[in-house]
Amino acid sequence: MTLPDLTGDRPVALAEPGARDWSPRAARARFRAGLAGPTAGVAAGHTQANLIAVPADWAYDMLLFCQRNPRPCPVLDVTDAGAATTVLAPGADLRTDLPRYRVWEDGELVAEPADARAYWRDDLVAFLLGCSFTFEWALAGAGVPIRHVEQGRNVPMYVTGRQCRPAGRLRGPMVVSMRPVPPEHLRAAIRESGLLPAVHGGPVHCGDPAALGIADLARPDFGDPVEMAPDDIPVFWACGVTPQAAVTASRPPFALTHAPGQMFLTDARDEQYRVVGVD
């Protein structure tokens, strides 16, 4: 199963001078003004979030889907019906403050606007889910190279052969993100990401992509392929694009999501979600 990837954006946000040091508020203002592109490496130390909004009569199914599949769908916040605000970023607008959105009708991708106000509905319940871009700062701090950031690319994401646990009317495969990790840094990558379970936690698989049903790392379903060093090990984390695969498989009448890799920058700090590690 392959979902369409219509973004076509290069990582403009990361290429902007000083993007690493922007505040989340400054980043959101730039996105609201039209800046697009993947947000890996933007606003260091601040939590990023996936977005999916569904009609209220599908909200319980989505909440149950997230509860049953916490690795790919770790819930950080759920809004009231029609509300375009979140406690994760007071003053922000979920309709305008992401770089790019996706609009779905009956499971089909119909638009990718930079501003979602024309598509917003009073019955939409928005779910903000943890994003693996958050733990990349911890990986980098431990000396783990982040290849897609080094290469100025979006992280590669793949639809796997692993099915999520169904919930009500929602079903679908798990999506994963992949980061090549040198063998000497593998333990640190597993440890540091594992200390942040609210943003996907540790890897779901290391090594042979065929074990996840992935045929070709050079052909991601979302994002960009990355160049691996000769000894790099492909390491896979559960990904918050999973609900978009569920939308395609389950065909709700309407859904609004972020574009893969183009996340919502929250005001929350990464350390708020870090658990105490035991050596």
Q: Which candidate, 77, 66, 110, places its Cα nearest to that of 246? A: 66
The whole-number average pLDDT for the span 24-42 is: 94
Say if residues 13 and 42 touch (Cβ distance below 8 Å). Answer: yes
Q: Measured between alpha carbons, how far is 278 from 89 in angstroms, rounded to an integer?
A: 31
**What is the model's pTM?**
0.91
> What pLDDT does 41 receive?
87
Q: 127 forms bridges with which residues in the sheet?
A: 52, 78
**Average pLDDT, whole number, for the chain?**
93
Where does the pLDDT of residue 250 fall: very low under 50, low under 70, confident under 90, or very high at 90 and above? very high
Task: Provide the residue count of the chain.
Answer: 279
- pLDDT tens for residues 189-215? 999 999 999 999 999 999 999 999 999
Say if residues 241 and 102 touch (Cβ distance below 8 Å). Answer: no
- pLDDT tens for residues 95-125? 999 999 999 999 999 999 999 999 999 999 9
Q: What domains lie within the chain, and their CATH numbers?
A: 12-270 (3.30.2040.10)
Q: Which residue type occupies 222?
A: F
- Whose tokens are 């993947």? That residue is 38
Where does the pLDDT of residue 277 fall: very low under 50, low under 70, confident under 90, or very high at 90 and above? low
Show Cβ contacts of residue 184 under 8 Å, excluding neighbours closer than 6 positions: none
Helix axes 133-141, 186-194, angle to 10 degrees: 130
